[in-house]
Amino acid sequence: MSRRGVLRGVGGYLPERRVANHALSTFLDTDDQWIRERTGIAERRIADPRQTTATLATLAARDALDHAGMAGSDIDLIVLATATPDHTFPATATKVQAALGAGGAAFDIQAVCSGFVYALATADDALVRGRARAALVIGAETFSRILDWGDRGTAVLFGDGAGAVVLEAVEVGEVTPATGPGVLSTYLRSDGRQHDLLYVDGGPSTTGQAGALRMLGNQVFKQAVERIAEAMERCVAQAGVAMGDVDLVVPHQANRRILDAVARRVGVAPDRIVTTLDLHGNTSAASIPLALAAARDQKRLGPDQLVLVEAMGGGLTWGAALIRT
Ligand SMILES: CC(C)(COP(=O)(O)OP(=O)(O)OC[C@H]1O[C@@H](n2cnc3c(N)ncnc32)[C@H](O)[C@@H]1OP(=O)(O)O)[C@@H](O)C(=O)NCCC(=O)NCCS
C-alpha cells in the first residue's frame, strides 16, 4: 500500500479593484500596447486597503474547501506560500487557520513566485508520511504593497490575489509512480548566487522596512525559460511519463512570452497550457492555484488527468509538480 496526497479541491480569490494598463500610463511612461506585447498582461487586481494577504488567502481557501465539499475543521495542515506576509511574525497561515477553524499545524513558506510549488511539495511530504490527513496549500500575495510605483520596469507586471488547493491523504494501493491519483512527483531547486536578479531592498534584519521590489527583468527572463524547462522535464521524467502524456500545464503566470518560449522548448501544444495572466498579471505564489481555479471554472480540469505545475521566482528558485487528478 502506498499513500498519496490527492487533489480534492481548488479555489481562488481576486480583489474587486481592476487596474487596466491605460490607468498605469497616467503616472508612468508606459502604454497599453507595450505592456500587452511584452507581457500579455491587460489588467491587474489591487487589494482594498482593509484587505491583507490573510484576507485574500482565507477567501481562496474557502473556495477550495467548497469545491472539495469539506469544512475548515477537516483541515489539519495549512502551508501558505507568500512573500508579502501580514506581519514579520507570526505566520500568515496561523491567521487563516483561526479564520477557518482548522486544526493541526499552520506555517508560511517563502520561495517568492515558486512558493506554491514549494508549499505543495512540503504539504505532500507531510501527507505521505502520515503527519497530516488533509492539507490546504495556499499561495497569497499583496504585491501592490511592495512595488515601487515609479518604476515602469516592475510596476506594470504584478498584482494581488490568492489561490488554494485541498490535498487529502489517500491509500492508493499498489500503484506505479505514474498511475493512481495524487501528487506523482515534485522537483525543487534554487540558486542563491542569483539573489540580486530579483529581490526586495528591505527587511526586518537589514533596513527594518518592508522595502520595494527590484528586478533585472531581461536577465530574469532568460533564466526563467531555461530553469522552467529543466523543472518540467525532470519532474515528468521522475514519474516515468513523457511530456506528451501531460493533459494540462498550469504555469506560474509571469509573462506570456516566457510561457510561449517554454512551450516551444519542451514541446507542449498551446491548447494544453492554462493562461490567465492577462486578467491579473503576475500574482507571485498565488498564480498557479488561481490558474487551477480558472481551469476548474472553464471545465478544463477533469478526473484522471495529468496536470503539470511549474514556476520560477526570486532566489532564484524554481520547481515543478506533477499531479494526477
Ligand atoms: C520586464 C520585461 C517585460 C521587460 O521586457 P524586455 O523586452 O526584457 O525589455 P528591457 O528590459 O530589455 O527594456 C527594453 C526597453 O523598454 C523599456 N521599458 C521597461 N519597462 C517599460 C514599460 N513598462 N513601458 C515602456 N517601456 C518600458 C526599458 O526602459 C528599455 O528602454 P531603453 O531601451 O530605452 O533602455 C521582461 O524582461 C520580463 O518580463 N522579464 C521577466 C520578468 C518576470 O517575469 N519576473 C518575474 C519572474 S517570477
Atom of ligand 1 nearest to the CA of 38: 3
pLDDT digits 0-9 by tens, 107-123: 999 999 999 999 999 99
Residue percentage of the chain with pLDDT more than 90: 97
Active site residues: 113, 252, 282
CA dihedral over 44, 49, 50, 52, signed as positive or negative: positive
pLDDT value of position 178: 86
- Asked if residue 277 has its Cβ within 6 Å of ligand 1, the reply is no
- Asked if residue 199 has its Cβ within 6 Å of ligand 1, the reply is no
Residue 128 has pLDDT above 90, yes or no: yes
Q: Coil, strand or helix: which one is 5? A: strand
pLDDT digits 0-9 by tens, 25-61: 999 999 999 999 999 999 999 999 999 999 999 999 9
Looking up cell 496549500 gives: 137
Looking up cell 500610463 gives: 25
Compute the half-sphere exposure of residue 191: CA atoms within 13 Å on the CB side of its CA.
11
Report whether 164 contacts 136 (CB < 8 A). Answer: yes
- Asked if residue 283 has its Cβ within 6 Å of ligand 1, the reply is no
pLDDT value of position 1: 65
Looking up cell 542563491 gives: 192
- Asked if residue 228 has its Cβ within 6 Å of ligand 1, the reply is no
pLDDT value of position 126: 98
| Ligand 1 centroid from CA 214, angstroms | 12
pLDDT digits 0-9 by tens, 161-204: 999 999 999 999 888 888 899 999 999 999 999 999 999 999 99
pLDDT digits 0-9 by tens, 226-255: 999 999 999 999 999 999 999 999 999 999
Which residue is closest in CA terms to ligand 1's atom 31?
A: 153
Residue 125 has pLDDT above 70, yes or no: yes
Atom of ligand 1 nearest to the CA of 257: 39
Residue 9 has pLDDT above 70, yes or no: yes
- Asked if residue 153 has its Cβ within 6 Å of ligand 1, the reply is yes
pLDDT value of position 179: 86
- Asked if residue 51 has its Cβ within 6 Å of ligand 1, the reply is no
CA-wise closest residue to 116 among 15, 275, 266, 253: 253
Mutate to test the pocket of ligand 1, among 25, 218, 287 (most ligand atoms within 8 A of CB): 218
Distances (CA, A) of 55 to 14, 96, 216, 287: 11, 8, 31, 16
| Ligand 1 centroid from CA 236, angstroms | 31
Residue 311 has pLDDT above 80, yes or no: yes
Residue 148 has pLDDT above 90, yes or no: yes
Residue percentage of the chain with pLDDT more than 70: 100
Looking up cell 499545524 gives: 105
What does pLDDT average to over the chain? 97
Report whether 254 contacts 282 (CB < 8 A). Answer: yes
For residues 261 and 257, what is the distance between their CA atoms, to the nearest angstrom? Answer: 6
CATH number of 1-325: 3.40.47.10
CA–CA–CA angle 77, 100, 48 (5° rounding) = 115
Q: Which residues of 143-153 are buried (b: 16+ CB within 10 A; e: fewer)?
A: bbebbeeeebe
